[in-house]
Amino acid sequence: MTKMILASSNPHKLREFREILEPLGCEVVSQKDAGIDVEPEENGSTFEENSAIKARAIYKIAKCAVIADDSGLEVDALGGEPGVYSARYGGTRDDIAHNDLVIKKLEGVPDEKRTARFVCAITYIDADGNESRFLGKFEGRIGYEMRGEHGFGYDPIFMVGGISSAEMTPEEKNAVSHRGKALRLLADYINRTNSED
């Protein structure tokens, strides 16, 4: 079992990482469970930069394999907002307030112009300090109200076909989501490097 520290204590995120990586023989633990209490300032201008900032901060302390992701929502009609500010959009860390704000800002915007995507950038640092990056995108559009009980963040307003991301089962979401795509790229990379050893 390869132990990896996830640079997050978000239980939803931890579950998604475990679902994809544990079958490969990876034990994924949160930074909290690893006893690491550090919150580096995410001052990058891209998801890739922010995920690298988080991964490097944890690696510096733990000196073992680390995974960090930075992800968020880009809404085309809002010029790519909330983007890297997705988790603190509108100056709050409240998911419902974030969803309400996006819906409010899109008032009067027709369906065809409500295109959006979730983006996930993962930085993986192996035990030897080698860095790799993986990017996943999940295309959809913004709905008019919150729907569904699954997921978190902007999932209730992110529509894919006729349903919201929060109406998908975890399995359905993992198969198509931005984080699922980036994680599968990471999983392929880990598989390749393990088979080369």
Point out the residues that are catalytic.
Answer: 70
Q: Are 118 and 180 in contact (CB under 8 A)?
A: no
Q: CA torsion angle for 191, 138, 154, 26 (degrees, to 10)?
A: 0
Identify the helix (H) or strand (E) that includes residue 71. Answer: strand 66-75
Rounded-to-integer distance, Cα 161 and Cα 149, Å: 17
Spell out the residues 6+ positions from residue 39 whose beta carbon is closer than 8 angstroms to its own: none
**Phi, psi of 145, rounded to the nearest 5 degrees:** -160, 165
Q: Where are the alpha helices (DSSP H) in the chain?
A: 11-21, 47-62, 95-105, 170-176, 178-196
Measured between its terminal Cα atoms, the distance across the chain in Å is 15
